[in-house]
Amino acid sequence: MEMIIVEDYEQLSQRASDLIVEQVRMNPESVLGLATGGTPLGIYRELIKANREGEIDFSDVSTLNLDEYIGLAPSHPQSYRQFMKRELFDAINISEARTHIPDGRAENLEEECRRYEALIEAIGPPDLQLLGIGENGHIGFNEPGSDKEGETHIVELTESTRSANARFFASEEEVPSHAITMGIRSILKSQRILLLASGEKKAGAIKRLLQGGEDVNFPASALWSHPHVTLVMDKAAYGMKG
């Protein structure tokens, strides 16, 4: 695992965005695996800027998002479809048809999981997958205890994840109880993984990850079995004080 330690969130966003720009310049038809949550927001802002300044062209890029809540209307502001539209897609030159997110309102959710995994195989796997890390070590919505061989599937969110995500909703009760997520095995199919961590809240998870060794109760540790992971973190996430 390659490690890049930067000063702060701003530098993390810049550095990760630069790596994505490089990837798309190298292969304009790149498939990018994308994440939601707070961590990628700065990266998306940098990518929008780079797109406006002509440094990156998304017209031949395809995207595959990691996960989606179950049960939220696609128009709900906290659905990941809306999140991605608002924070990235609507502001760059990508056609909606090339952006893929699991459908958390599909009539047959099991079938939707199979469709999404087949899509990963058909257009992917991602050349570059962006990943955040949960305080409990989750990746995507693969919570502690998740099967390393798991592909796209339905999960029940843990209390810790629901309360961490409550900040985006009016109350914790509004946070959906279930989601569709790419499994650990689906994530590990990517050519390269960019794992991002910012802020002291993530210091415990990063410390545990860097202890090494795979542990089913700490899903991010599965990344040790991937040949090309780059961990970009700021000093606070690395446990260094100011």
Which residues in this chain contact ligand F6R in the complex, by CB under 6 A? 35-39, 66-67, 132-134, 138-141
Contact yes or no for 125/156 (Cβ under 8 A): no
Q: Which residue is nearest to ligand F6R (CB)?
A: 132
- Other residues' Cβ atoms within 10 Å of the Cβ of residue 54: 7
Secondary-structure percent of the chain, ordered helix, strand, coil, rounded to 5 = 40, 20, 45
Question: Which residue is catalytic, options 76, 100, 138, 153?
Answer: 138
Question: Which residue is catalytic, options 143, 151, 153, 165?
Answer: 143
Question: Which residue is catalytic, options 51, 65, 87, 136?
Answer: 136
Distance of closest approach, residue 150 Cβ to ligand F6R, in angstroms: 14
Active site residue 215: no
Residue 60 or 131: which CB sits closer to ligand F6R? 131
What are the residues whose beta carbons fall under 8 Å from the beta carbon of 118, sequence distance 6 or more?
Answer: none
> Using omega within 30 degrees of 0 as the cis cutoff, is the peptide bond preceding 40 cis?
no
Question: Which residue is catalytic, options 51, 65, 67, 76?
Answer: 67
Q: Report CA-CA distances (Å) from 105 to 12, 15, 121, 123.
A: 34, 35, 22, 22
Distance of closest approach, residue 80 Cβ to ligand F6R, in angstroms: 7
Within the chain, residue ranges assigned H as helices are 9-26, 41-52, 80-87, 109-123, 159-165, 184-188, 203-210
Distance of closest approach, residue 166 Cβ to ligand F6R, in angstroms: 12
Active site residue 138: yes
Active site residue 51: no
Residue 42 or 127: which CB sits closer to ligand F6R? 42
Cα torsion angle, 224, 37, 169, 77, sign:
negative
Distance of closest approach, residue 17 Cβ to ligand F6R, in angstroms: 15
CA atoms within 13 A on the CB side of 100: 25
Active site residue 136: yes
Residue 28 or 77: which CB sits closer to ligand F6R? 77
Residues with a catalytic annotation lie at: 67, 136, 138, 143
